[in-house]
Amino acid sequence: MSVSGEGFTRQNEWSRSTAVPAESARSRPRSAGPDLLRAIAILLVMLWHVPRPSRLDALEGLRMFSWTGVDLFFVLSGFLIGTQLLTPIAQARRPSLREFYLKRSFRILPAFLFVLALYEFAPVLSDDTTMQPTWRFLTFTMNFGLDYRATGAFTHAWSLCVEEHFYLMLPALALLLSGLRWRGWTLLIAGVLLCGGMILRAFLWIPLGEAAANGNFAFTPEYLTAIYYPTYCRLDGLIFGVLLAAYRCFHPEHWRRYANPRLTLCLGLACIFASGFLFHFPSTRFVGGPALSLVGAVFGYPLFSLGCALLLSASLSWEQLFPTWRVPGAAMIAMISYSLYLSHKMTSHAVQLLLSPESLTGSQGLVIYYASSIAGGAVLWWLIERPFQRLRDRLLLKRQA
């Protein structure tokens, strides 16, 4: 899943055809492992966006890496969407693009358009006084040339733009690959995209790094505009998610034999810790959250995404590893994660308006921030997401009848 990813079902759901009749979103059993990862991802993103007075020194080390929650979302989304498209291909059937885009539209657009309307028509709730033109949000192009200093409101929608571009590209690519006999094309294209992204980030970083070293401008905003936000630099997580889905769809026997969850869990954690080191290696000069050193910008993203993909692989066997253990609240937070992602900045600003600017201060402010944001996300899910998911399920049932 991604920021906008749908709820994962249990393992056997992933082996089913996408043409089976749709089940109600309420009735499908949830998979604890991916739900936990999705909950961690949204909680990390919220920690990155926590109001400054609520930032605790004890959490600052974690907060400086909490922007990686978005990359975890990308891996989840790549796996989910890759599974939906590749399962019928693995069964020698053609995936239904009409059904795919119907699902995506009903999943993404209602809550997004509702929150966008609030930003447009209720500016008092906006978390910033400036915002990009509406057409940039409606066309999902606001992540190109984005400068949060100039247009700060609803900037976190940049990751949704990346996913929308992914939704447009992957179905066409999947259909193209389905007509080719050599399955190695999948690995070849994925390798080209990964290496191309690494080379591109290196070329984009060099002039920025030189200028920052000379003190000509603030490095962080320029880095974000040139490297962090654009789709063409942020495909690593989505690619690794799709590769994981392809391996599981096309080689189920190998998956059952070699994808040992304990091994992938250990390897995934090792990759994530190693990427944390690479993010700012070899110099601490440019430490500033998402603004990375040259080594971090080139190698950190794919290494972190690989680690997340390995963790996701292990999490799919959660019921096997931990048959009785569930993290309280993880399933609920995972279920509302998309609404929570869209609304948490606006909710925290509304709390400050209702109470006082000082209400979100210190440890008490941090608790209020998380509690109110989760409540706001739950309300958005209940009012907007849930009804449209039910409508989508009814339409799919009617179409398949």
pLDDT tens-place string over residues 265-284 = 999 999 999 999 888 877 65
For the chain, give percent helix, strand, coil, nearest 5. 70, 0, 25
pLDDT tens-place string over residues 69-118 = 999 999 999 999 999 999 998 888 888 888 999 999 999 999 999 999 99
Q: Within 13 Å, how many C-alpha atoms sit on residue 25's CB side?
A: 20
- The encoded tokens of residue 237 equal 């997580």
Instruction: Classify residue 286: in a domain, yes or no.
Output: yes
**pLDDT for the residue numbered 164:** 95
**Has residue 218 got a pLDDT over 70?**
no
**pLDDT for the residue numbered 293:** 87
**Has residue 357 got a pLDDT over 70?**
yes
| pLDDT tier for residue 208 given thresholds of 50, 70 and 90 | confident
Instruction: Classify residue 165: in a domain, yes or no.
Output: yes
Name the pTM for this structure.
0.91
**pLDDT for the residue numbered 329:** 93
Instruction: Classify residue 219: in a domain, yes or no.
Output: yes
DSSP state of 125: G
Least confident range of 13-17, 81-85, 134-138, 184-188: 13-17
> At a CB cut-off of 8 Å and minimum separation 6, what does 314 contact?
33, 261, 262, 264, 265, 268, 321
**pLDDT for the residue numbered 31:** 84
pLDDT tens-place string over residues 318-337 = 877 787 788 899 999 999 99
- The encoded tokens of residue 211 equal 């200028």
Instruction: Classify residue 126: in a domain, yes or no.
Output: yes
Instruction: Classify residue 227: in a domain, yes or no.
Output: yes
Structural domain boundaries, residue 126: 11-400
Instruction: Classify residue 5: in a domain, yes or no.
Output: no
Instruction: Classify residue 189: in a domain, yes or no.
Output: yes
**pLDDT for the residue numbered 392:** 93
Q: What's the total number of domains in the chain?
A: 1
- 3-state secondary structure at position 142: coil
**Has residue 307 got a pLDDT over 90?**
yes
Instruction: Classify residue 3: in a domain, yes or no.
Output: no
Mean pLDDT for the chain overall = 87
Distance CA 140, CA 164 (A): 7
